[in-house]
């Protein structure tokens, strides 16, 4: 029995660790969750029956051990030194680093360019992993660079970290340096679950990662969705060290260690500049936070020649991007009314430069979020802005709250108004929803304005020149009450508006006229039906063909459309059941507001296939490629996931292409896409 148990334990460990690697590293699960759980429980049962078989590299060690009284100190055999930060966040920082390296190496203009490796600077917690004979025996934080803390029990819970290296002949000793981090999607899912359970949430992914690893109770760390990427090595024994840093990372990946695909190797500052630009463009689309990129001299012999200065390597530098989080003060809390009546609290802030722009407003999302974060007027807060994302208040710095013992009325906890600030109508919150809404519909000026702005938007009816300021005047002067009124506007009253003249008024009337007869999908999207976005509008138009057929559909018929479930179906039914909405649609029909098409069968040649487009195609524009895929029944998504069937890559494809390679997803160039379409057609 024992011999059989030993064999089964080895088999189970291989199966479970392979499943962990597929799921957590490759994001490509190969077995169902129920099967994984069954294998795990079987391994636990055998180890319970034969305790001496429970080795340190067993997957069961990931679930956490006994709480620790404190972290034991660990002295790093090779110091974990920090690298210099390039203070110039412009591209000049890369040029300056290359110039310093060439000067230190004594190179002249006649000498060839230095080869560099460029990679991401992760925003997490630096970590050193020590493997002996291929088994993870210790994990330690950086600490002061010389001495860190033993966090082995907690690191065992990070499922992207292998407990045993994937090699039959591993190095006798291999210290791997890297970063524990938390993916944004995992961070959001964790916080959503915590909110549902009424428990504290994490402030941001970086704090979430650092705080999880430094939990004295490993079972708490095991509940946190952490990940890991390695970016270097420390002490090694019995390992044939490669000649370059890039080859080191390739070798680590070959041992089953997670290595980020977002890296580049090439000559001179041109390589660094290209990498810096490329990552800056897609920084906000990365699945995790970074605060910069790192440049390293690629050849290890040149690294040794360059050496260190003031405990920092001369051969590496961190080139940061502008900060995405800053501190500022809340000057007021107001509420805004959206197109669907949603009441959104907004913090008015002391101006602060963050994420490349000056921010004066930040969303507080909803009433529950304001109360959970306890944001008050006068508070010092952490504000985050990433790219085009709306700035938000991440957390309050309670230590800086003024007059903690004497709260003025202005500093009292936030209370959502019970009447709409725009129209005085009632504000209600439906049970189960986080958002409170003004229920006055188009009787509310704010909702009228937003509905008209949405109707005229570029992806909807595309009425050029009908901007927010002009809509404000049209609504406030009673010229427009709903989208149908736009088609009755004449040049004379428009020319009398502020910042308008005869020419601009004539142009606007022409632009409104040009919007007549738009495709059905754009018209459906323009109506502003709650929960119906651009893609759903396309699916509805493709399925029903005619607006009358869509308006007559019941819930069962609506839910035959891809990605339309009970919630979306109920929103559509409620919209068309409203007499006012039907009256406006009839006026739009009379104005020639849309053109019907033909219903297409659900089973198109590419139905069920999901595509992602990346890079620049040589002949097709992104919109043309998307239209042809959708015409064949396929779906075009914005990001790569395990549900993606094909990634169509052109020039400069970026991270989506790298992600597709990591997941083993089929990739096509333009000719491959055309061949697939022709074959299907």
Q: Report how far residue 337's alpha carbon sits from residue 9's, in angstroms, rounded to the nearest whole number.
A: 60
| Strand order across the beta sheet in which 646-649 lies | 635-637, 610-614, 646-649, 666-668
> Exposed, middle or buried by CB within 10 Å (0-12, 13-18, 19+), for 507?
middle
Two tokens, residue 626: 């998307």
User: Any bridge partners for residue 296, and if so which?
Assistant: 117, 316
Q: Is 121 a catalytic residue?
A: yes
Q: Report how far residue 93's alpha carbon sits from residue 357's, in angstroms, rounded to the nearest whole number.
A: 20
> Exposed, middle or buried by CB within 10 Å (0-12, 13-18, 19+), for 576?
middle
* Residue in 410, 396, 595, 574 with CA at minimum distance from that of residue 515: 595
Which residue among 121, 320, 373, 626 is the active-site one? 121
Contacts of 574 (CB under 8 A, 6+ apart): 530
DSSP collapsed to 3 states, 367-430: HHHHHHHCCCCCCEEEEECCCCCCCEEEEECHHHCCCCCCCCHHHCCCCCCCECCCCCCEEECC
Contacts of 407 (CB under 8 A, 6+ apart): none
DSSP string, 434-500: S--EETTGGGSHHHHHHHHHHHTSTTTT--TT--HHHHHHHHHTTS-SSGGGGGG--HHHHHTSTT-
Q: Report how far residue 206's alpha carbon sits from residue 371's, in angstroms, rounded to the nearest whole number.
A: 23
Q: What are phi and psi of 417, to 5 degrees?
A: -65, 145
DSSP collapsed to 3 states, 201-269: CCCCHHHHHHHHHCCCCHHHHHCCCCEEEEEEEEEEECCCCCCEHHHHHHHHHHCCCCCCCCEEEEEHH
**What is the SS3 assignment for 669?**
coil
Contacts of 537 (CB under 8 A, 6+ apart): 521, 522, 524, 525
Q: Report how far residue 414's alpha carbon sits from residue 335's, in angstroms, rounded to the nearest whole number.
A: 11
**Total Cβ atoms within 10 A of residue 577:** 10
User: Are 295 and 150 spatial neighbours (Cβ–Cβ below 8 Å)?
Assistant: no
How far is CA 663 from each of CA 23, 161, 270, 655, rounded to the nearest angstrom? Answer: 10, 18, 30, 12
Which region, left, alpha or beta, applies to residue 658 given φ > 0 means left and ψ of -120 to 50 means alpha? alpha
Catalytic residues: 121
């Amino acid at each position: 029995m024992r011999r059989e148990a030993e064999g089964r334990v080895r088999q189970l460990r291989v199966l479970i660790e392979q499943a962990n690697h597929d799921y957590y590293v490759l994001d490509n699960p190969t077995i169902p969750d129920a099967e994984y759980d069954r294998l795990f429980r079987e391994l636990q049962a055998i180890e319970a029956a034969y305790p001496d078989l429970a080795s340190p590299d067993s997957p069961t060690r990931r679930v956490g051990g006994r709480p620790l009284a404190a972290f034991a100190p660990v002295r790093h055999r090779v110091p974990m030194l920090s690298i210099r930060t390039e203070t110039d966040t412009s591209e000049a920082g890369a040029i300056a680093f290359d110039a310093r390296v060439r000067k230190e190496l004594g190179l002249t203009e006649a000498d060839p360019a230095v080869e560099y490796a460029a990679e991401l600077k992760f925003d997490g917690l630096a970590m050193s992993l020590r493997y002996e004979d291929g088994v993870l025996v210790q994990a330690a934080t950086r600490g002061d660079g010389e001495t860190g803390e033993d966090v082995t029990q907690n690191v065992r819970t990070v499922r992207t970290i292998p407990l045993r290296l994937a090699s039959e002949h591993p190095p006798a000793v291999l210290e791997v340096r890297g970063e524990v981090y938390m993916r944004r999607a995992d961070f959001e899912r964790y916080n959503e679950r915590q909110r549902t359970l009424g428990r504290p949430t994490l402030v941001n992914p970086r704090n979430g990662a650092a705080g999880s690893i430094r939990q004295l109770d490993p079972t708490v760390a095991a509940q946190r969705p952490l990940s890991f990427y390695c970016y270097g090595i420390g002490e090694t024994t019995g390992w044939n060290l490669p000649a370059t840093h890039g080859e080191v990372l390739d070798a680590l990946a070959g041992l089953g260690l997670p290595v980020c695909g977002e890296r580049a190797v090439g000559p001179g500052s041109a390589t660094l500049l290209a990498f810096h630009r490329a990552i800056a463009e897609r920084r906000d689309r990365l699945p995790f936070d970074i605060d910069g990129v790192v440049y390293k001299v690629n050849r290890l012999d040149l690294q040794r020649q360059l050496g260190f200065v003031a405990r920092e390597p001369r051969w590496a530098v961190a080139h940061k991007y502008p900060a995405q989080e800053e501190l500022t003060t809340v000057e007021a809390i107001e509420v805004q009314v959206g197109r669907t009546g949603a009441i959104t609290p907004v913090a008015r802030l002391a101006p602060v430069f963050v994420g490349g722009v000056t921010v004066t407003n930040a969303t507080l999302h909803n009433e529950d979020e304001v109360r959970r974060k306890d944001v008050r007027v006068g508070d010092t807060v952490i504000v985050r802005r990433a790219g085009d994302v709306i700035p938000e208040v991440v957390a309050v710095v309670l230590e800086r709250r003024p007059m903690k013992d004497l709260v003025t009325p202005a500093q009292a906890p936030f209370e959502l108004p019970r009447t709409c600030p725009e129209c005085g109508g009632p504000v209600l919150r439906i049970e189960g929803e986080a958002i409170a809404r003004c229920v006055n519909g188009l009787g509310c000026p704010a909702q009228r304005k937003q509905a008209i702005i949405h109707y005229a938007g570029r992806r909807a009816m595309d009425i050029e020149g009908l901007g927010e300021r002009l809509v404000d005047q049209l609504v406030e002067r009673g010229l427009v009450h709903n989208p149908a009124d736009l088609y009755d506007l004449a040049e004379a009253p428009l020319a009398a508006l502020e910042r308008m003249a005869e020419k601009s008024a004539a142009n606007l009337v022409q632009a409104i006229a040009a919007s007549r007869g738009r495709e059905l999908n754009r018209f459906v999207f323009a109506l502003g039906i709650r929960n119906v976005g651009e893609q759903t509008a396309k699916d509805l138009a493709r399925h029903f063909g005619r607006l009358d057929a869509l308006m007559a559909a019941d819930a069962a018929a609506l839910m035959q459309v891809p990605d339309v479930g009970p919630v979306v179906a109920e929103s559509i039914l409620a919209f068309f059941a409203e007499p006012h909405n039907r009256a406006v649609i009839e006026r739009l029909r009379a104005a020639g507001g849309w053109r019907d098409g033909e219903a297409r069968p659900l089973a198109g040649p590419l139905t069920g296939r999901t595509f992602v487009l990346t890079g620049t195609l040589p002949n097709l524009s992104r919109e043309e490629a998307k239209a042809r895929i959708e015409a064949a029944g396929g779906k075009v998504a914005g990001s790569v996931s395990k549900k993606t069937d094909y990634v169509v890559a052109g020039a400069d494809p970026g991270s989506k292409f790298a992600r597709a390679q990591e997941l083993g997803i089929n990739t096509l160039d333009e000719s491959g896409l055309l061949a697939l379409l022709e074959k299907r057609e």
